[in-house]
């Protein structure tokens, strides 16, 4: 099987049905430079707005403004806002816990120094309690 433009068969389509150089295989596809929803959302949340707080003008991000409103609504007794705020707080705490490294255990000399400091502190507190006059 062959035509005027070469052999035909597996992975050798006819020349007239092949993509032309510079032609896309999906001409109706996503246009170049279009943004996805996550990018647009993050860009919008980072935009600045001017608010009045305690009589002073302050520039903050839209994200900060939205969080302030959520916290204020929760504080005023809005149960739905309170539920959202508590859920966001729990998520933030989980993220913070994952990001912070676990503390390295103290080596023996450091433990001894800490124990001595605590003993001296306890003696100091006991001495102050002994010298304090009773106010009975």
pLDDT value of residue 58: 95
Q: Which two tokens stand for residue 133?
A: 């006059």
Distances, alpha carbon 131 to alpha carbons 69, 121, 124, 136, in Å: 52, 16, 11, 15
| Residue 9 pLDDT > 70 | yes
Confidence tier at 18 by pLDDT (50, 70, 90): confident
* 19-67 pLDDT, tens digit each: 888 877 788 887 878 888 999 999 999 999 999 999 999 999 999 999 9
pLDDT for the residue numbered 132: 67
- Could you report the per-residue pLDDT of 63-107, keeping only the tens digit for each? 999 999 999 999 999 999 999 999 999 999 988 888 777 678 888
List the chain domain ranges: 36-98
pLDDT at residue 13 tops 60: yes
CA gap 55, 61 in Å, rounded: 18
**Is 23 in contact with 30 (CB distance < 8 Å)?**
no
């Amino acid at each position: 099987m062959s035509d005027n433009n070469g052999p035909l068969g597996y992975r050798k389509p006819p020349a007239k049905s092949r993509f032309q150089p510079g032609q896309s295989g999906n001409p109706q596809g996503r246009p170049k430079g279009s943004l996805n929803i996550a990018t647009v959302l993050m860009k919008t949340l980072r935009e600045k707005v001017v608010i009045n707080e305690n009589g002073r003008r302050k520039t903050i991000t839209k994200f900060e403004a939205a969080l302030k409103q959520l916290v204020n609504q929760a504080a005023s007794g809005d149960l739905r806002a309170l539920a959202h705020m508590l859920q966001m707080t729990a998520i933030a705490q989980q993220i913070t816990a994952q990001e912070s490294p676990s503390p390295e255990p103290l080596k023996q000399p450091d433990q001894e120094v800490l124990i001595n400091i605590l003993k001296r502190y306890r003696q100091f507190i006991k001495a102050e309690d002994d010298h304090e006059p009773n106010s009975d």
